[in-house]
Amino acid sequence: MFYREAGDFKTSYRDDSQTFPIKFDRFRYYAVLLVALAIVPFFIDSYWANALLVPFLIYAIAAIGLNILTGYCGQVSLGTGGFMAVGAYACYKLMTAFPDVNIVLHIIAAGGITAAVGVLFGLPSLRIKGFYLAVATLAAQFFLIWLFNKVPWFYNYSASGQISAPERTVFGIAVTGPHTEAWAKYLVCLLFVAVLAWVARNLTRGSIGRSWMAIRDMDIAAEIIGVNPLKAKLTAFAVSSFYIGIAGALFFAVYLGAVEVGEAFGIQKSFLILFMIIIGGLGSIFGSFAGAAFLVLLPVLLKNVLVGTLGWPTDLAAHIELMIVGALIIVFLIAEPHGIAQLWRIAKEKLRLWPFPH
């Protein structure tokens, strides 16, 4: 009843198969975009940008990338942090080697380099799967972190071993460096999120996405009906790594500004993004956003309530956060494997029928 579907007729197959077939959903989507693009930039400050909005947008890109690989194609990966590091270091080397090139092109190129690395480490998926593939990607995580630590060329022989983003502008506005305004960071990340989410949604609804899902559901049956497992798995690794590489480049250049690979892209980063898609929902673009929002907002909320209001120690609040995340993962895996996205779908179906029970 909330949706008011009466009179919302479909006169073509294209109308019936669009992403938001219900008019109310389309209006809500456009309203969210309008608020995000035209209103939030005028009110955002450094706290909201650095604590909530910018990390949420960057983690959403990484979660979409991992969801393409794990949720849509069924290939388990524990190397997300390492691939984010590839994107960050590729962006750094491009920024220092080609200072006159636009930073947006550097970020996209960093995603392309990460895609090539992802395909390389995705080759074992042609022979192994499940737990064995997870261990292989975990080995990639440790190898990449070791590589960026031990080869001085990657951090331009800096004595500290850190990489720092030089100041770069887009249309004369600084988007990297210490003088970047909060709204500029936010808008750059928002534009990348909007474009990449739109591309991911269309990829997963097309022939490529259907081949990924066929491999995920039963790879032998998929091969029998004509799906090429080599092409499907490697394209999933390439697209996933491209997204994760862009997230790593934004995380380094726009968000942090300076990183040390072991601290910023360690194994905890891989698990964090994996937890995002488990809680948000495997095989769902919306679930990637929901999981990223939940795990970005939860630490801030707990810190404000437990430390700021109740006066508890900071380390105790951090341990409680880990306990809550672990309990939620167990609950979602047992009670609702499709995560917050499935709960949202059920709620929408109820609202479509309310106040009638069926």
Domain ranges of the chain: 20-353
What is the reported pLDDT for 198?
94
What whole-number percentage of the chain has pLDDT above 90? 62
* Architecture per CATH, 20-353: Orthogonal Bundle (1.10)
pLDDT bracket for residue 187 (50, 70, 90): very high
Supply the mean pLDDT for the chain. Answer: 90
Residue 145 has pLDDT above 60, yes or no: yes
Provide Rg for the chain, Cα atoms.
21
Per-residue pLDDT at 178: 86
What per-residue confidence (pLDDT) applies to 2? 60
Give per-residue pLDDT as tens, 293-322. Answer: 999 998 888 888 888 888 888 888 888 888
Helices (H), the chain: 13-16, 23-34, 40-43, 46-48, 54-66, 80-97, 103-122, 131-150, 182-205, 207-217, 219-224, 229-250, 261-264, 267-280, 285-302, 314-335, 339-353
* pLDDT score recorded for residue 125: 85
**Rounded CA gap, 201 and 193, in Å?**
12
Kindly tell me the sign of the dihedral angle through the C-alpha atoms of 198, 28, 18, 354.
positive
Rounded CA-CA distance 345/339 in Å is: 10
pTM of the shown model = 0.94
Query: Does residue 4 have a pLDDT over 70?
Result: no
Report how far Cα 78 is from the mean position of its chain's Cα atoms.
14
DSSP letter, residue 76: -
Helix or strand or coil: residue 193?
helix
